[in-house]
Structure 1
């Protein structure tokens, strides 16, 4: 193997920073993309939660959104959804692999199943904390018609009006 090939192989070795980076990027792309595709369903779900009398079923809800706000309303919050779930997926995939290599050194008397469970649970906690600010903006964009157009103007608006607490309180109070 040449020097360049050896460098690439070392970067992708398990427990190397390059390996965790690849896992993180894979998680970002897979989770961000799959959640992006479901944006219309998410828009309807959020509106059904906020106004159940108006949006009482799937077909009638989609019809109401389309008639009142146009076809683009079905994609409201797409950037916050793509970026937020991308960050969540990146944390989930990358941190799972990291914790999976870290915990056996700390918890030497535990079996692999427990290590995998604990690694997954730990990664999920960090992933969900990372998702909250994006989800907070997304819900506001989807449920409050004049709040913001998307992530780029929604983030500063939440921060300006509510500070850092606004990125977590809104999600918890749904």
Structure 2
């Protein structure tokens, strides 16, 4: 109903300030002094108001002010939903990828990796480590490290533990709390360049898409179309993310799989080329997909709460 009321009133009648100069007291006090009244109104009204009668702009309930605390809270919730759910959804790819990194002789290719896992562990084997994945990638940063340690062990060592509930205390009992954080440095080496590339490349890719590939300005595109652009831009950004962070991802898998292993052991066993390429094709598919879906979910949540989608050419500033 509020929207109907707004649509019945021309937009040029709205003003952020309600100062028409038409108060009854003023008209009474200036009765018989038209020149004075005209002078007063001309000096008091801004250019918009000089066109005619102006009413106050209606409020927009449910909208979140940009860069306010509510804006950052909404972005945080959207990011949590996007990261935790998408990483959990691609757990089967992650399980095969980790095993290809740890045992390339047994898990030689993507297709054979899926076949070996299905034959030996059944369908449930593809979802090993889903709980630490969901929790870890929802909270991120240092809090991700212990969950990642449990995830890798559960996914690459059959019989080690059923999941998070028994895997976490088992590592602590064997190696202490420090055992949960021995992969922290390579984890930072993976997550920091990954995150930098994720945001920097996404913004650039989306801006280039709207400039060179999409004939319609972003603000004139439908929200569904903008979300499609977010997914496409996110997928391409995910490919770059996978490439720059893959050596560190191999280190994380190697260190968390073997007790007492060091970075030197990983370099010696895998070699620099192995660190950069082992399991990379599958990880490109995995990271590309989840990054595209992440940006899609994130922007869909922003649209749901009344915020614009991410990226693209910013709207032109009104001339003063």
Q: Is the 1:88–1:127 Cα contact (8 Å) retained in structure 2?
A: yes
8 Å Cα contact 1:136-1:171 kept in structure 2:
no
The whole-number CA distance in structure 1 between the counterparts of 2:201 and 2:280 is: 23
Structure 1 position 87 matched with structure 2 position 193: yes
Once the two structures are superposed, the pairs formed by residues 92-131 of structure 1 within 5 Å of their partners are 92-109=198-215, 111=221, 113=226, 114-131=228-245
Q: Which has the higher contact order (CA 8 A, sep 6+)?
A: 1
Q: Offset at 1:99?
A: 1.0
1:173, distance to aligned residue in structure 2 (A): 8.2
The match for 1:42 is: 148
Q: Which residue of 1 aligns with 2:248?
A: 134
DSSP-derived class of the 2:278 partner:
helix
| C-alpha distance 159-122 of structure 1, shift in aligned 2 (>3 A) | farther
| 1:162 aligned partner | 271
Q: Provide the secondary structure at the position in 1 that maps to 2:140.
A: helix
Distance of aligned partners of 1:61 and 1:37 in 2 relative to their CA distance in 1, 3 Å threshold: same
- Which runs of 5 or more residues in structure 2 are unaligned? 1-136, 284-320
Aligned residue number for residue 145 of structure 1: 259
Q: Distance in 1 between matches of 2:237 and 2:280?
A: 20
Q: How does 1:57-68 map to 2 (within 5 A)?
A: 57-68=163-174
Larger radius of gyration: 2
Distance 1:143 1:53, change over 3 A: same
CA distance in 1, matches of 2:207, 2:159: 50
Count of residue correspondences? 138
Query: Residues of 2 paired with 1:131 and 1:95: CA distance?
Result: 14
Instruction: Indicate how the Cα distance of structure 1 residues 81 and 161 shifts in structure 2: closer, same or farther if over 3 A, else same.
Output: closer
Q: Which has the higher helix share?
A: 1
- State the Cα distance separating 1:161 from its structure 2 match: 4.5
Deviates more, 1:123-132 or 1:134-143: 123-132
- Structure 2 counterpart of 1:3: none
Q: Which runs of 5 or more residues in structure 1 are unaligned?
A: 1-30
Runs of 4+ in 1 over 4 A off after TM superposition: 170-174
Counterparts of 2:207 and 2:241, CA distance in 1: 18
Q: CA RMSD in A?
A: 2.8
Q: Residue 76 of structure 1 corresponds to which residue in structure 2?
A: 182
| CA separation of 1:119 and 1:72: change in aligned 2, threshold 3 A | same
Question: How far apart, CA to CA, are the structure 2 residues paired with 1:43 and 1:143?
Answer: 8
TM-score by length of 1: 0.67
